[in-house]
A and B are shown apart, each in its own frame.
Chain A
Amino acid sequence: MGSYIGRRILTGTLTIILAIIFSFLLIHLAPGNPVSILSGRDNPSPEMEAALIAKYGLDQSVFVQLGSYLKNIVQGDLGQSISNNRPVVEMIAERIGPTLLLSLTTAILSLLIGTALGIYCARSAGSKLDSALNGISYLFDAMPGFWLGMMLILLFASGLKLLPTAGMVDLRADYTGFAHYLDVLKHLILPGLTLTLISTPYFFRIARSSVIQVMSEDFVNTLRATGMKESRIFNKYVFKNAILPTVTVFGITLAYIFTGVAIIEIVFSWPGMGSFMLKAISSRDYPLLMGIYLILSVSVAVNMIIVDLLYAFIDPRIRYK
């Protein structure tokens, strides 16, 4: 088990390091010079240029530069946002809450719904319902999330005028207390629904193929031959065997969920990092974009490590290695 955990921590750490190296390389390889990228200006003022050169050791060897780049990041300094002239870390910290709210809602809902449907369909594999859900899962998989979001806005908001389509709270009402949470919940429905619809197929297929595979294992036939009740075979034996792969997959899905969330936030003007990103792109705020990339890489790596630690404890095949 030690070696397994060690390996996963190594992978997580390397992911973070590689993300840092990528962003470092981009600053240096992109057209224009590092100073103009870090300052976001073609002609930065001499003072600003001098400050950046000193901070990142830009007049020294590449290794020194990488060293000081790393040092800044480890100290929690992701640079200065160009458009707002504030530290990137501070700005991301303000926006991370709404993004996490949306991401977690999506992750939990699609995991639960997808897994439940997947298990159900696997038990009646080949039935009409199974074929239908399978087809639907491919359909949603083929949809760009932003387009689905826009279609839902057309249907529920513009057409039926049922739900709010933009923001996280009603700015005109200024609710407090319970009414505030209810308001957030109402705003959460459409973006949450969109994201759940495009993420569920992923968990659905994993759970479904996992259950089908376990059901075809010899041990299931052996248990049936013993006269054990089908419900017990499933609840006690098949379920545990089938659910384990889903757990590991959950460790590596965060990147995919974040990607969906970032784009859906833009569609619904959700005040998280995604909406931010769009502004950063249009104002060429590279330090902010890189900050977002780094923060996401770290979250994803940490999430994977946590999930895999958990997995190592529940799967005996790893526990005893």
Chain B
Amino acid sequence: MEKVQNMQNVKNVQNTGNARSSRSPFKRMLHHIRSIYQLKIGVTILAALVIVAIFAPLIATHDPYLLGDELTAPPSGAHLLGTDGLGRDIFSMIVYGARTSLLIGVIAALISGVIGTLLGGIAGFYRGRIDKVLTEVNNIFLIMPTFFLILLVIALFGSSMFNVMLIIGLTSWVGNARLMRAQAMSLRERTFVLSSTAIGESRSKILFKHIIPNGIFPIIANTTMNISGAILTEAGLSFLGLGDPNVVSWGQIVFNGRSYLTSGWWISTFSGLTIVITVLAFYLVGDGLNRVLSPKLRANY
């Protein structure tokens, strides 16, 4: 479940580790066109999801918490995607689940974005000992089995949505910090930053006024990717029975469907498919943004 995070980290390792040959303007243009196509598809899917989440009560055909009489009923006109073992309408559960999954994904990714930007910016801009410490923390988080730590925290502190968002955010900022650090390190040598120093602007002001606003683009793209990572992590937690019991989430529907796999295949199948589509949409947008916004840090092709 932390594979997304890890992928990002690995990409970053490669990006910082190798001197990249410069690209011709022609290739850049080619990427631009492809990325825009990719972005369009991703954004369309995401917009649809957000609309579903906002207008869930209007779109859902049933109350997702209502235990109906028809247990494990297959998809039909009455229940578009069937019902689960307790008679709840799967379609309506998925519609309401969009709220949970998107909220957790977005908030967790924002937390990780803010922490990563601040720590990475500070490390790359101030350098020195603080940079060494942060780089080491980076390396440690790169190999640490983070998912098990998240699991432990949720098991001990309780599985409220708030806890889930917070702990995912607190453990996934490393990739962002690495990106921001690289940005800060190159920006601090640029003329406009050097001249701000020369006219006596304070260091912290330069960091917030110049370094962070100018270096934020890769973080925006990466944060989009992190949303999908957070959604997958939440699904993994739900599958271990550590989802928030007070709300519906896609992972929980898959988890509940496990006991009905042979008698009610639709329960897990559709909810899982929703996760796949959502995660893919965030990939498309994140990857597209990455190509458009930060040509230098782009992975190959």
Direct contact between the two chains A and B in their complex (CB within 8 A): yes
A interface residue numbers (CB < 8 A to B): 10-12, 14-15, 18-19, 22-23, 26, 30-31, 37, 125-126, 134, 138-139, 141-147, 150-151, 153-154, 158, 198-199, 202, 205-206, 208-210, 212-213, 216-218, 245, 248-249, 251-256, 258-260, 262-263, 266-267, 277-278, 281-282, 284, 286, 289-290, 292-293, 296-297, 300-301, 304
Known: A141-B3, A147-B275, A153-B261. A15 touches B143 (CB 8 A): yes
Q: How far is the CA of A202 from the CA of B14 in the complex (A)?
A: 14
User: Which residue from B139, B157, B235, B257 sits with its C-beta under 8 Å from A144?
Assistant: B235
Q: What residues on B are CB-neighbors of A141 within 8 Å?
A: 3-4, 7, 283
A202 engages B272 (CB within 8 Å) = no
> What residue of chain B has the Cβ atom nearest to residue A125's Cβ?
B301
A297 engages B152 (CB within 8 Å) = no
B240 engages A30 (CB within 8 Å) = no
Q: Name which of A23, A30, A150, A248 has the most chain B CB atoms within 10 A of its CB.
A: A150
Q: How far is the CA of A30 from the CA of B154 in the complex (A)?
A: 10
Q: List 27 A-B contacts (CB under 8 A).
A: A11-B140, A11-B143, A23-B152, A30-B157, A141-B3, A141-B7, A142-B232, A142-B275, A143-B276, A144-B232, A147-B268, A154-B269, A252-B6, A252-B9, A252-B10, A255-B147, A258-B145, A262-B148, A263-B239, A278-B241, A281-B155, A282-B241, A289-B152, A289-B155, A290-B152, A296-B148, A297-B144
Q: How many B residues face the partner with a CB closer than 8 A?
A: 58
CB distance from B35 to the nearest CB of A (A): 14
Q: What residues on B are CB-neighbors of A277 within 8 Å?
A: 151, 240
B279 engages A151 (CB within 8 Å) = no
A15 engages B140 (CB within 8 Å) = yes
User: Which residue from A151, A249, A260, A293 sits with its C-beta under 8 Å from B3?
Assistant: A260
Q: Name which of A141, A251, A290 has the most chain B CB atoms within 10 A of its CB.
A: A141
> What residue of chain B has the Cβ atom nearest to residue A8's Cβ?
B139
CB distance from B261 to the nearest CB of A (A): 6
B131 proximal to A (CB < 8 A): no
CB contacts under 8 Å to A, within B257-287, are 257-258, 261-262, 265, 268-269, 272, 275-276, 279-280, 283
B149 engages A14 (CB within 8 Å) = no
B236 proximal to A (CB < 8 A): yes
- Looking at B15-23, B199-207, B210-218, the stretch in contact with chain A turns out to be B15-23
Q: What residues on B are CB-neighbors of A31 within 8 Å?
A: 156-158
CB distance from A56 to the nearest CB of B (A): 16
Q: What residues on A are CB-neighbors of B265 within 8 Å?
A: 154, 158
A126 engages B301 (CB within 8 Å) = yes
CB distance from A158 to the nearest CB of B (A): 5
B152 engages A26 (CB within 8 Å) = yes
Known: A150-B268, A209-B299. A138 touches B139 (CB 8 A): no
Q: What residues on B are CB-neighbors of A11 within 8 Å?
A: 136, 139-140, 143
> What residue of chain A has the Cβ atom nearest to residue B156's Cβ?
A30
Q: What residues on B are CB-neighbors of A22 within 8 Å?
A: 149, 152
Q: How far is the CA of A99 from the CA of B226 in the complex (A)?
A: 28
Q: What residues on A are CB-neighbors of B257 within 8 Å?
A: 150
Q: What residues on A are CB-neighbors of B151 within 8 Å?
A: 277, 281, 289, 293
A293 engages B149 (CB within 8 Å) = yes
B242 engages A256 (CB within 8 Å) = no
> What residue of chain A has the Cβ atom nearest to residue B235's Cβ?
A144
Q: What residues on A are CB-neighbors of B156 within 8 Å?
A: 26, 30-31, 37, 286
